Amino acid sequence: MAEEETDVYRALQQHMDQFPVRFPAREGGAEIRLLKRLFKPKEAKIATKLRFTPYPSETVDIIYPRLADTGLSKQELEETLDEMAKKGIITYLRDGETKYYGNALWVIGIYEFQVDKLTPELLAEIQNYYSAPPVQKIQSTGIPQMRTIPVGQSIRREDSVANYDDIRHLINQSKGPFVVVNCVCRQAKDLVGDPCKATDRRELCFGVGKFSQAYIDFGWGREVSKDEMLAILEQNKNEGLVLQPSNTKDIEFVCSCCGCCCGLLEGTKAAPRPVDYFTTNYYSKVDPELCTGCETCIELCQIEAATLENGIVTINLDRCIGCGICVANCPSEAIQLLKKDELHVPPETFDEMYSKIAQRRKELDKTAK
């Protein structure tokens, strides 16, 4: 029985390892323990018969024939899929009365859907998974799921900013809905007694459009107007939080990150060139004539790119990720954001982004063989 049960979870891990963002096995079976913590055996079996698409695209009628051997009626299957969606272990979308289900990636997906549901036991399994070797098996395709854009008021009025780098435009062009959500990374830090040093607030992240549907239907977030979203983003900017939306022109989510809780910022701070891990079109430059050495930018920069030398701030371009936090908060207007020579133009949609990631992964797999 125990062996059969492990087979179900192994099948699920291998299924998830085929997604555009992999879920590789680890030495010692940390991946199986993590899956067991989240999925009941019946749920694991159902999940191996679902498909990953950027948005779930299959109704229970389409999925049911693949699960005939489970003995579940169609209604029982629908109830189980709804429970799984509510647990945040699969993706879910609703269009009127019609519901769609599909596999979720581990990140961005199942982990983020654990907002308000994290327990110390689950967190311990997640940490075991990340710390177990071989770490290098989580392969980067070079096409990130999120990117860094400048906060409002950090671009000079006389400079043009591309619509996809302009948070106000991105929000205004979207039909919504908009939902504000607690930050799951900060909730994880709270659980281990190491709370965020940048902010006491937790309602900091946003779902936009289709991505926000599950958050609204399952009460994981609070629906807000565009104006309220902009007002929260303004607070986030004042506290020095870095804007990281989805790597798409039609944004699906916006994260507001700090160097102590965000896995990417925290994990790359020790690297010699953190800038290599971020997709950004900007960098900052200080005017030494205007800098008073007040150190506001040093305190706020989440990636430790600003340092004081002879009473004046210098920006390390191997570290600067062009978030604009220093520019928007400098009392002497001594810093400006400058555009890079080569600009990153994000994919239009989630579909395009994940198909690019999947394509790149195939190429990398071929080269590795």
Residues forming the site for ligand SF4 (CB under 6 A): 183-186, 204-205, 255-257, 261-262, 284, 286, 291-297, 301, 303, 305-306, 313, 315, 320-326, 330, 332, 334-335
Task: Give the DSSP letter of residue 137.
Answer: G
CB of 343 to ligand SF4, least distance (A): 16
Which residue, among 193, 320, 211, has the nearest Cα to 265 in the 3D structure? Answer: 320
- Beginning with the edge strand found earlier in the chain, give each strand of the sheet holding 253-257 in spatial order: 221-224, 178-182, 203-208, 253-257, 242-245
Q: Judged by CB, which is closer to ligand SF4: 195, or 293? A: 293
CB of 154 to ligand SF4, least distance (A): 7
Report the amino acid identity of residue 311. Answer: G
CB of 316 to ligand SF4, least distance (A): 8
Cα–Cα–Cα angle for 266, 133, 84, nearest 5°?
Answer: 75
Q: Judged by CB, which is closer to ligand SF4: 13, or 246? A: 246
Between strands 98-103 and 221-224, the pairing is unpaired
CB of 364 to ligand SF4, least distance (A): 24
Q: Output phi, psi for 212, to 5 deg.
A: -85, -5
Q: Judged by CB, which is closer to ligand SF4: 67, or 167? A: 167
Q: Judged by CB, which is closer to ligand SF4: 60, or 214? A: 214
Q: Judged by CB, which is closer to ligand SF4: 71, or 193? A: 193
CB of 160 to ligand SF4, least distance (A): 18
Q: Which two tokens stand for residue 1?
A: 């029985």
Helices (H), the chain: 2-16, 30-38, 41-48, 60-63, 74-87, 111-113, 120-131, 167-173, 184-191, 213-217, 226-238, 263-268, 296-300, 325-329, 350-368
CB of 369 to ligand SF4, least distance (A): 33
Q: Judged by CB, which is closer to ligand SF4: 81, or 260? A: 260
